[in-house]
Structure 1
């Protein structure tokens, strides 16, 4: 269980995909829509709770849901075992199917398919969650889901050439010399947690993360006390280096055109970029802007250097990003 009682996740989905779900009902009597948040890597909803709370204060009519990546359930005893070699790895394709399954569950549970012309669905992706978002919408298009008012927001999207970013190049160099880095990292974390006193472990995390806010510290504790989840996250990072390269043709033709919107009108896309981002190369950002910024259904915004916005916004900039997201959602209604 989460070590912070304020971050206890409301529901646990166990089945083919082990994951956790943070599901917060609207604070008003009228449920105007669903905001479905796909996290980056590591894919834990615990990191996003301040962002969700800030967003809900600004959009009280919306249900807020953040789902972990498949295999990133820190509440699961099955994922706290040190036998990583026998553990199933949930790859990027699994992650897309998992998000599709959870979204279908939510839309059925809360009556969105029956009331599809009135209620809005907004899917927010962060980092690799944006790549998952793109491919999720391809499935929605293929299966002809009846979602009348569907739009998307991409926060610091790592949707192409992630291996060419500054952090991507460093990670690829590590992989070159330590190809089993996922097992090595998870094993090291397992023994750190087993033998280091809890106080010393917290101090180490605090130093490594440059004194993060409390929710980030506690979320990271949740992560490292589940070394099998660490294995999953690092292995997912390995796959990202090779899979997230050139955009697929159907992403270019279907996703960016917005043809996945059930209303027949192009679905709207909003993408936010940091001034500098160690997971998105400047050349990659420039390519995306050059290719898609002229489309009527696509908007881009790049933060200024003075804004201090980081790729890991959910640690440092939750309130600012929540405000930006809420403004766009209100204008887009």
Structure 2
């Protein structure tokens, strides 16, 4: 998608009203390094689905902060993707330029939002805004693709700045995203390559490639949902689908919203088009050699722990000092991941001798939508990886 100024302006205007959640640390003094954990949701991009996960992770990180010798404080932040709350945009289809948002819009939204949040830490205790000392970028499902794309754009931006071109192109002002100190990425149920070849992806792609369904699927779904009373829909989601009451209420609110389902379908179809063959440079999977010079710090020595409980682990070979850059968690039988493509992705990471990637394939049965019933299990894994990251 081309960088259309009108589309970008619309996304920026919309971003001001996007719902968000944050879970700050109560330990902000004593010279602790401030670490932002910026989390990108999957599709549907409704941040409330992840409240149990964030609550569990906050509790676990409080335990980490309470350990003797811990020099970090963690701030968890996450926001809706664009278009999933009716208050953050004009009604879709109400006028020219009011179509649902595509994947590129979501990437730009997260790019701008992260740069903004990075400079607006209310707990920094500084009269002048000061960026977080480090940022761990986490994502789920399509949020993993967005996260890797942000790492890619961050790498290109810093490379351009070192080459003296980025500031010149922006009239002498350096893009605020360059101030984000990306330390590591945590990718949960990663969908980063050829999603249309997965079992669920094939069904979504059929919807996209059928002219009639591509134009009308959201209308058909809307008409059906309008006929189902809210109470009955809640009963179906709770008793038949099996969601807990809180999750069921969020599902019903999303399905009954004016544009939420349309946005999810539209974004899903665009994911089938955009998340295809890998086109990122292998450099993004490596520890950036010049990052220390850019940040004024030094690369740390790797300290590697064993695999998360109930998981099979593979690590890429390493030839340079430093710890892991990416922790990637795949479901054992993920309907949104083609196993052949997943295995090829893992093989490519192994072939990169400078790569810094920890890949874990679940040996249990945690489903793709883990945030509905398995938040505690996944939070435990993420906490383990965060402990490893800060030990590097």
Between stretches 89-98 and 220-229, larger displacement belongs to 220-229
Select the residue among 282, 285, 288 that pairs with 1:253.
Answer: 282
Residue matched to 1:310 = 367
The 8 Å contact of residues 150 and 262 in structure 1, kept in 2 or not, is answered as: no
From 242, 245, 253, the equivalent of 1:211 is: 242
User: What are the residue-to-residue correspondences of 1:234-253 with 2, within 5 Å?
Assistant: 234-248=265-279, 251-253=280-282
The counterpart of 2:151, out of the listed 127, 133, 137, is 137
Judge conservation of contact 1:148–1:261 (CA < 8 Å) in 2. no
Q: Which residue of 1 aligns with 2:310?
A: none
SS of equivalent residue, structure 2 residue 268: helix
Q: What is the aligned partner in structure 2 of residue 9 from structure 1?
A: none
* Whole-Å separation in 1 of the counterparts to 2:13 and 2:119: 18
- Unpaired segments of 5 or more residues in structure 1? 1-12
**Which TM-score applies when normalising by structure 2?**
0.72
* Counterpart Cα distance in 1 of 2:96 and 2:227: 22
Q: Closer, same or farther in 2 for the Cα pair 1:167/1:330, shift >3 Å?
A: same
User: For the Cα contact (< 8 Å) 2:139–2:188, is it kept in 1?
Assistant: yes
Matched, 1:198 2:233: no
Cα separation, partners in 2 of 1:34 and 1:192, compared to 1, 3 Å = same
Matched, 1:232 2:263: yes
Could you say if the C-alpha distance between residues 188 and 254 of structure 1 is closer, same or farther in structure 2, counting changes exceeding 3 Å?
same
**Matched residue, 1:120:** 134
2:79 matched residue in structure 1: 67
Gaps of 5+ in 2: 1-10, 63-72, 159-177, 294-298, 300-321
Mapped partners of 1:24, 1:74: distance in 2:
24
Give CA-to-partner distance per residue, 1:80-116, whole Å, 9 cap, x none: x785986332211111110011111111111699755
The 5 A counterparts of 1:242-321 are 242-248=273-279, 251-259=280-288, 262-263=291-292, 265=299, 268-293=325-350, 295-304=354-363, 307-321=364-378
Contact 2:141 2:189 (8 Å CA) reproduced: yes
The 1-side partners of 2:223 and 2:51 are apart by 29
**Deviation, structure 1 residue 51:** 0.5
Distance 1:97 1:148 in 2: 18
Matched residue of 1:277: which SS?
coil
CA contact (8 A) 1:72 1:232 kept: yes
User: What SS is found at the alignment partner of 1:59?
Assistant: helix
TM-score, normalised with respect to structure 1: 0.84
